Structure 1
């Protein structure tokens, strides 16, 4: 599995929509959706920082490593 993106979990915990996060972070709804579904292949540190600021969380709350079996 590798890197797992738990953005949907954090959005639910913060009761925030993808649209609201997109507006707060300043990136397109499409890019947020790609991150949320795990389709993104990369993320800029500045984007990750903005997401953490908007969701008031740590990087580890969003990204998780799982062993590939």
Structure 2
């Protein structure tokens, strides 16, 4: 299972979902779905723009956990 840690990263950066959507030129609904871990697919260009705005790596946003919840 892949976890999306956007809510954690935004919390650390003290940035709102709305501000991220504006700066990354991504639809607010897309950011909201990622924030709430409701997405099934993520466009690589979208990830690239989010990482650029947040100055982070993909590994800061995504985390793999096996069936037992281990990283």
Q: Give the TM-score taking structure 1 as reference length.
A: 0.93
Q: 1:43-58 counterparts in 2 under 5 A?
A: 43-58=42-57
CA displacement, residues 22-54 of structure 1 (integer Å, 9 cap, x when unaligned): 001111111101011111110111100000001
Q: 1:1-69 counterparts in 2 under 5 A?
A: 2-69=1-68
Aligned length: 68
Q: Which runs of 5+ in 1 are unaligned?
A: none
Q: Give the TM-score taking structure 2 as reference length.
A: 0.91
Structure 1 stretches of 4+ moved >2 Å: none
The structure, 1 or 2, with the larger RCO (C-alpha pairs under 8 Å, 6+ apart) is 1
Q: Which runs of 5+ in 2 are unaligned?
A: none
